[in-house]
Amino acid sequence: MNGMLSRAVTGAATVARGVRDDQLDLPAPRDGFGVRELLGHLAWTAAMLEAPARREQPPPGRRMGVFGEEMPVAEDASPFERALGLSGRDPAWEP
């Protein structure tokens, strides 16, 4: 693993281990994400990176709670909008 990624993983693991159960429902620094969702995202990302090294298929994101329920998209939706819908993100959302 390259040095920068190794340091990032070590730092993230240290922070994640320090999260208490009573902190899981607190907001994370990113709007719309809680601590629980952020940790779920980190766990899924780690599984996605680890699976190829083990010559395994990565786990489905929806099963790990990374993706929400599929969102409907228009018939003429672009491939990107369809991907957003599949991942549980609203393609019509705007900041």
Q: pLDDT tens, 71-85?
A: 899 999 998 888 888
Q: Spell out, as residue ranges, where the chain has pLDDT lower than 70.
A: 1, 31, 59, 62-66, 95
Note the pLDDT of residue 95: 65
pLDDT, residue 69, reads 81
Helices 35-53, 3-17: inter-axial angle, 10-degree rounding: 140
pTM, 2 dp = 0.57
pLDDT attached to residue 21 = 93
The pLDDT, as a whole number, for residue 41 is: 80
Distance CA 20, CA 24 (A): 7
In the beta sheet, which residues pair with residue 16?
none
Give the side-chain half-sphere CA count within 13 A for 71: 18
